[in-house]
Structure 1
Amino acid sequence: MAINSLFCLDVLGSLLPAQCALCAGSCRGVVCSPCRQQYLDQTRRRCRQCANPLADTALLCGRCLRRPPAYDATWTAVDYAAPVDQLLLQLKFGARLALAPLFAQLLAATVRQAGSWDAPQLLCPVPLGPARLVARGYNQALEIARPLARQLDIALQPGLAVRVRETRAQSGVAPRERRTNLAQAFMVAPQHAGQVPGRHIGIVDDVMSSGHTVHALAAALKREGARKVTVLVAARTPPR
């Protein structure tokens, strides 16, 4: 009966007109063409290491020059700003998993257009802690990583890294405490440790704000011998 009900919902969904996730207008995809052109097709100069916007022709921002993070490069599709932030909140907390392939597509388009793209050999989604994964029911980073791996033709290892201790959500931690909150929070899963030494690993996540989460994970990968770590993130929070 449950299978029949799901089948009926799928058929009904295919018959009803889809709505744009941003403007609620009718469209064939997740986001209509006008909204995509206005909000999602972003091209701007960014720091090669952390993807913060740059106002000049420099390759690295002052922050990365003063205190280089453990990761070597960052690619992002869009800024984390209204109204795009609502899409990522819907994906992260509202279980709108259909948005994940959209952000994977945007990320893939961003790196393909870049002449300096150095493709990782293996993708690693930022892992959730067990309690948070059970409460949410899915890992939004993994939902983005799956279609991204297919589009870029890069191997994906969902369990490459594990979160060894539960941490407070970074959004609820004071900026000065965020690095400490994530210190030693990640490790490479022992059963996959042989896949890391000498390789270029790509970390996939939904949003990058302070960068402390991906820094901590990149540091764990470097401790296991990763040659290079590149961050692939759907959206980057602009500095305030």
Structure 2
Amino acid sequence: MPRAAEPNVGGTYANGAWWRSLTRGALDLLLPGACALCRRAHNPDRQNGIVCGVCMAKLVPLTLPQCARCGHPRLSLAMPLAPLPIDAATNASTPEPALPPCRWCHRLDPALRAVRSVTRMDSGTGAEFVHALKYQGWERVAVPMGQRMARLSFPDDVVRERVALIPLPLGAGRLRERGYNQAELLARATAAEWNLPVWTETLRRVRDTQSQVRLTPSERASNVSQAFDVPNHRQSALRGQHVVLVDDVITTAATVNAAVQALLAGGARIVSCVTFGRAPDPGDRAAPDSDSTRN
């Protein structure tokens, strides 16, 4: 099915975003280059941009093995390997070890085909990347973040079918306050590597929600319930498609699930998701030191 192009409606940048970019450019000219995270001297390069190689190397990926669907670490202190039952009909005498059902998948909407994330948020520099992008105005940090997101391995059917990236939209108030949507910046950086379009007007937030940071899982789900929809003029392009949601961090998947339900109601056939960070679950196996070099 041919990919439908989204109308050129301009960016979602609010008033003041251009001023922030202009100011940042002037500072780059007047002051020596420095890493946006550690502030050590750093000359931006094509590989890592405004983040130094040391901070990039300190990203801690999710440990292996991972669930083939949700990408979450499959081994944990709470979920040891369990043997398969012996099949008496085949007279099997040596059962093969098998992983138990993934304890993270159950929280995902059934229409979510695959979810992938670059880094842990409880160790390394993952949280510093997200903080610099969301709260410190370092918009260009999104470029190396998106490049890392684009390197994640998805199932073959996702790679074959995905037609566009859709960033999680911000509420109008938060967009005015921040001046940009960090998910859109990440989507554009990732899409440049995947050679796919970014559909910024396909999913919209129809009501403001409170911050999810201090909410329980059930409160998070209630907070974002029916917070998104697909405008009528975008439903024909979305119908029957496999699209990829983009956000900075996934925690309980409440926001992603709410967005998936809106996309399905708007005509999507199936949805995958990519984020830069993933919040840890209780019982997740800590990343060994050797994992910090596997980027």
TM-score by length of 1: 0.85
- One-letter amino acid of the counterpart of residue 243, structure 2: I
| TM-superposed deviation, 1:7 | 8.0
TM-score by length of 2: 0.70
Structure 1 residue runs of 5 or longer lacking an equivalent are: none
CA distance in 2, matches of 1:12, 1:139: 22
2:192 paired with 1:150: yes
- One-letter amino acid of the counterpart of residue 34, structure 2: Q
Which is further off, 77-86 or 32-41? 32-41
| TM-superposed deviation, 1:236 | 0.8
| Equivalent of 2:55 in 35, 40, 44 | 35
Asked if 1 retains the 8 angstrom alpha-carbon contact of 2:108 and 2:257, the reply is no
| TM-superposed deviation, 1:132 | 1.4
Matching of residues 95-174 of structure 1 within 5 Å: 95-111=137-153, 116=156, 118-119=158-159, 120-174=162-216
- One-letter amino acid of the counterpart of residue 103, structure 2: G
**Aligned residue pairs, count:** 233
| TM-superposed deviation, 1:206 | 0.5
CA distance in 2, matches of 1:62, 1:106: 26
Structure with max Cα Rg: 2
Distance 1:8 1:130, change over 3 A: closer
Asked if 1 retains the 8 angstrom alpha-carbon contact of 2:171 and 2:207, the reply is yes
| TM-superposed deviation, 1:118 | 2.0
Distance 1:43 1:98, change over 3 A: farther
Structure 2 residue runs of 5 or longer lacking an equivalent are: 1-17, 45-49, 76-80, 82-97, 283-295
**SS of 1:170's equivalent?**
coil
Asked if 2 retains the 8 angstrom alpha-carbon contact of 1:52 and 1:238, the reply is no
- One-letter amino acid of the counterpart of residue 272, structure 2: T
Equivalent position of 2:261 in the other structure:
219
Distance 1:214 1:68, change over 3 A: closer
CA distance in 1, matches of 2:234, 2:190: 21
Query: Which structure has more helix as a fraction of its residues?
Result: 1
Equivalent position of 1:46 in the other structure:
66
2:129 paired with 1:87: yes
| TM-superposed deviation, 1:117 | 6.7
2:295 paired with 1:229: no
**SS of 1:48's equivalent?**
coil
Asked if 2 retains the 8 angstrom alpha-carbon contact of 1:49 and 1:60, the reply is no
Deviations 1:172-220 (A, max 9, x none): 3233211111111111122211111111011010111111111110111
2:233 paired with 1:191: yes
Distance 1:27 1:168, change over 3 A: same
CA distance in 1, matches of 2:206, 2:238: 18
Asked if 2 retains the 8 angstrom alpha-carbon contact of 1:123 and 1:155, the reply is yes
